Structure 1
Amino acid sequence: MKTFAIYLDSEEKQGYSTGDIVSGVVLFENLETLWVRTLLLKVHGQASMSWGGCGPSATAPFPVSSDSTFSEEVEYYQHRQILLSPPYNAGEENLVALQPGKHEFPFRFQLPPRTLPSSFVGKYGRIQYWINAVLERSNNKQTVKRELPVISHIDVGSPALLSPVSRSKEQTVGCWLLTTGPISLSAKIERRGYCNGEAIPIYAEIENCSSRLIVPKAAIFQVQTYLANGKTKIFRQMIANVRGSHIASGRSDSWNGKMLKIPPTIPSILDCSIIKVEYLLAVYVHIPGAKKLVVELPLVMGTIPCNGLGSRTSSACSHLSMDMSWLAQTLPEHPEAPPNYADVVTEEEFSSYLPSCPQPAVWGQQFGGHIVAYIQECRFQPPPLYSESDLYPPSTEERRHVSFMI
């Protein structure tokens, strides 16, 4: 056999998800005549994990004995498909003869509608899906396999992941009775869900009432949790961080949307019974000679980004809507029309503007009365009826393009 391989029709696809169709071919090239009993396609997916006792666990902070081993496996998917089998009249040998050359055997199957955990390889366990092609001959078997990437999509635009998260904490620095003022930390993020490549705007207030020089920092941590035989193993690693400026004694500092970009990482895995992958944003204060002051904000790494504006733009819009909330309470939904001008002017005011001096006769003949009286009468005529649209729009020739240079 010269070639034996599995090819997928969508080689460029990053991952398959629930309900997707997986199709491809099993290709092999033989230089001599092959007598084949069957060609079988097997697909399986499982989560497995194992660790031996050398360090503490979450439930037992003491070292576990070296001869203790914890392991667990969960099967998530199985599929079996026969691609080649001998006909009924193949005889006692029950074999199929394949002439020298290239042979392609197409396959096609659909992933189940239920949720499948995303593919993952971690410190103490993995979640993997494999496609195996087994060629059974008269005297032996040959197997080739390839990994099938599976991803469980998470929409960060869901209402549960759009809610803001905030935490506050305070710590007093000192030893015995020689204590100084407290250090307070308050941190907030606008939402819980983010995707790869996005930047998280961090809002924080740090107040240093101690006598020490402190430094605020923030970091994104990936937390892998493994569950086996009632025991828990946790592995935590930092994937991104950012640093603030020093804060002297008696001073304070504010982060008004300090950006922390998310590096390429796998999405959160929350639907596997023995392996979980979670994320958190830790905003902390480094205090020389003392324990760090830390607040942790939970994060969910998704695959489907929010359809609205970007995080920075939505942040500005949300703050603007909060600052301008008073305007919506004072302005009516529909503006009222101005009052009739004739209703405002009384008869006494109108009579006080009557002319007291004689006018030229020619004006009286032309206007049918005193010209001043005519002017005063026009002066107190009501304005045109109120309309939100211009009843007399200017003509095209009257329009002028005005530009301002700043």
Structure 2
Amino acid sequence: MPAIKSLTVLYDALNEEGTFSEGDTIRGKVTLAVEKPTAVQSFFVKVKGDAQVRWTTRSGNHNHTHSARCRYFKLKHFLIAESANETVLPPGVHVYNFSFTIPSTSMPSSFKGTHGKILYMLEAKLSRSWKVDKTADKIIIFHSKSFPHLQSLMLKQVAVKDKELGIFSSGKVHMEVTVDRTAYAPGETAVVVAKINNNSSSDMTPKVRLSQAIVYTASGRTKHENSTVNKMAGQNIGAHSEKEVRWAVKIPTHQEPTIKNCDIISVEYFLKVYLDISFAFDPEVTFRVMIIPPSLASASRPAVSGPGWASHNSDFHPAAASAPHYHPSPHRYSGDQAYSVTPPSYPANPSSHAGPPAMNPAPMVWGFNPERSSYGSPFLHSSSSSVLHPPPNPQAFQPPAPAFSPHPSAPSAPPESHPAPSAPSYDPPPYMSATNFLSQSDEPPPAYSLIFPSSTNDESRETK
């Protein structure tokens, strides 16, 4: 009966895909089951990342092997330290925990091709004297995050091609092609639009092809491997006619990612749109596209604040766009986007109450509300108490004169006896900007006698 019954190594997944990237921590456990007391010389678990290529060429009667290898990292953790005195394990199941932090340096994604591979692996190894080593391993799927200028890869690509036809055909062909972006995750769809002006005497068929190009490098030699991932054809375009063709090019779910940060293996993708013309050189345009991990694709897209909001090209400040009191509306605003705002309710005398905190400095536009006013003014005029009116201008009002007192020496009424004048309702001209009157002070207006001195003293001087 063998002394070792089983040896397994497992790790805890960080996400649904079970993938790891630069800087992630791998945690797991190694389980060893022994049937009888076992003397162990050393017992450790390690994680490593390697790239290797190998292919053979024939020259005459001789075969030449070209190979290369790159090691990105190797980390080891001893579960039982190596020593001159062996450690005896009792029968039973022994569980050991481990933890590794992957280096944060740029490393390529996992890959497996015809002539090379990039492999990341966990391995547990048990060594005994005069016995064959017992090993167990577990492959790790590694997705690189080293894609510089990721946001720019989400912008569309445009290319134009003009070609004169000759010999068997005459005329000119004009083709303008647009691809919605550069980077895609496996399972996504590339949208390709081609506007074709066939001002020639030949018929032609528009076609699109997504291809993969792999280059293996070793000992100064290279090995190229090209394959077609997806291809589609459009309807025939007759002579002297125009047509717009649209394709939805599907990226396979398990497609290998783009690899540009490995010295011995590179993986690239190209999207070629061309016109198939009989007895002529096909005019074509080629776009470089990238396959990136799904986590990077979702993180690089602009966030959407709600079901009725547009993307990052909104006319609203990000802080204002996230305010909870904005709601979608069928009415349109600049940029063909829908917005609507319900004005808050304030008392008739805003200056006699403390104002709320300062409003967001982002520009705010009051949307048109047909139930309150027939005008699209920023401040709606209505008899409803919920309508926001413009602030009063202190210099535009004359407060009412106080009641005449027959005794000049009588003290004037305190300022609190004269309430602040209420603001009239009016619609300001469009060129006037809205004033943030909520930030005004809540102090009462000054006494009338301080602004306009009493004329009683003047009359008494004239009488004398």
TM over 0.5: yes
Q: How does 1:3-402 map to 2 (within 5 A)?
A: 3-10=6-13, 13-53=17-57, 67-85=63-81, 94-140=85-131, 141-153=133-145, 158-175=150-167, 178-255=168-245, 257-264=246-253, 265-303=255-293, 304-305=296-297, 306-308=300-302, 388-393=379-384
Q: Which residue of 1 aligns with 2:320?
A: none
Identity within the alignment, %: 26
What displacement does 1:17 show? Answer: 0.7
- For 1:148, give the aligned amino acid: I
What displacement does 1:154 show? Answer: 5.9
- For 1:107, give the aligned amino acid: F
1:243-302, Cα deviation, whole Å (9 max, x unpaired): 2111112222113x5322222112211211221111121111122344433211111222
Assess, with a 3 A threshold, how the Cα gap between structure 1 residues 320 and 394 changes in structure 2: closer, same or farther.
Answer: closer
Report the 3-state secondary structure (helix = DSSP H, G, I; strand = E; otherwise coil) of the residue aligned with 1:75: strand
1:39-93, Cα deviation, whole Å (9 max, x unpaired): 0222221111122236xxxxxxxx9996333222111011111111377xxxxx7
- Equivalent-residue separation in structure 1 for 2:207 and 2:284 (angstroms): 9
Assess, with a 3 A threshold, how the Cα gap between structure 1 residues 15 and 170 changes in structure 2: closer, same or farther.
Answer: same
- Equivalent-residue separation in structure 2 for 1:326 and 1:157 (angstroms): 27
- For 2:142, give the aligned amino acid: V
1:281-334, Cα deviation, whole Å (9 max, x unpaired): 111112234443321111122222243379xx9xx989999xx9999xxxxx99
- For 1:9, give the aligned amino acid: D
Dislocated runs of 4+, deviation >4 Å: 63-66, 154-157, 316-321, 324-327
Report the 3-state secondary structure (helix = DSSP H, G, I; strand = E; otherwise coil) of the residue aligned with 2:20: coil
Report the 3-state secondary structure (helix = DSSP H, G, I; strand = E; otherwise coil) of the residue aligned with 2:273: strand
Assess, with a 3 A threshold, how the Cα gap between structure 1 residues 81 and 318 changes in structure 2: closer, same or farther.
Answer: closer
1:119-141, Cα deviation, whole Å (9 max, x unpaired): 11112211101222110112122
Assess, with a 3 A threshold, how the Cα gap between structure 1 residues 109 and 64 changes in structure 2: closer, same or farther.
Answer: farther
CA contact (8 A) 2:154 2:301 kept: no
- For 1:262, give the aligned amino acid: I
- Equivalent-residue separation in structure 1 for 2:249 and 2:154 (angstroms): 18
Paired residues, number: 320
Q: Which residue of 1 aligns with 2:372?
A: none
Assess, with a 3 A threshold, how the Cα gap between structure 1 residues 280 and 325 changes in structure 2: closer, same or farther.
Answer: farther
Structure 1 alignment gaps of length 5 or more: 55-62, 88-92, 328-332, 336-383, 396-406
Report the 3-state secondary structure (helix = DSSP H, G, I; strand = E; otherwise coil) of the residue aligned with 1:68: strand
Higher RCO, Cα 8 Å, sep 6+? 1
Assess, with a 3 A threshold, how the Cα gap between structure 1 residues 387 and 202 changes in structure 2: closer, same or farther.
Answer: closer
CA contact (8 A) 2:197 2:241 kept: yes
- For 2:186, give the aligned amino acid: N
- Equivalent-residue separation in structure 1 for 2:38 and 2:301 (angstroms): 55
CA contact (8 A) 2:175 2:194 kept: yes
What displacement does 1:227 show? Answer: 2.2
- Equivalent-residue separation in structure 1 for 2:235 and 2:62 (angstroms): 45
What displacement does 1:191 show? Answer: 2.2
- Equivalent-residue separation in structure 2 for 1:181 and 1:387 (angstroms): 57
- Equivalent-residue separation in structure 1 for 2:56 and 2:46 (angstroms): 31
Q: Which residue of 2 aligns with 1:341?
A: none
What displacement does 1:187 show? Answer: 1.2
What displacement does 1:147 show? Answer: 1.2
Report the 3-state secondary structure (helix = DSSP H, G, I; strand = E; otherwise coil) of the residue aligned with 1:392: coil
What displacement does 1:8 show? Answer: 1.1
- Equivalent-residue separation in structure 2 for 1:6 and 1:199 (angstroms): 37
What displacement does 1:202 show? Answer: 1.3
Assess, with a 3 A threshold, how the Cα gap between structure 1 residues 320 and 65 changes in structure 2: closer, same or farther.
Answer: farther
- TM-score, normalised via structure 2 length: 0.61
Q: Which residue of 2 aligns with 1:398?
A: none
- Equivalent-residue separation in structure 2 for 1:187 and 1:144 (angstroms): 52
- Equivalent-residue separation in structure 2 for 1:75 and 1:334 (angstroms): 57
- For 1:147, give the aligned amino acid: I
Assess, with a 3 A threshold, how the Cα gap between structure 1 residues 155 and 76 changes in structure 2: closer, same or farther.
Answer: closer
Structure 2 alignment gaps of length 5 or more: 316-332, 337-362, 366-374, 387-464
1:205-260, Cα deviation, whole Å (9 max, x unpaired): 223234332111112212212222333322222212222111112222113x5322
Report the 3-state secondary structure (helix = DSSP H, G, I; strand = E; otherwise coil) of the residue aligned with 1:161: helix
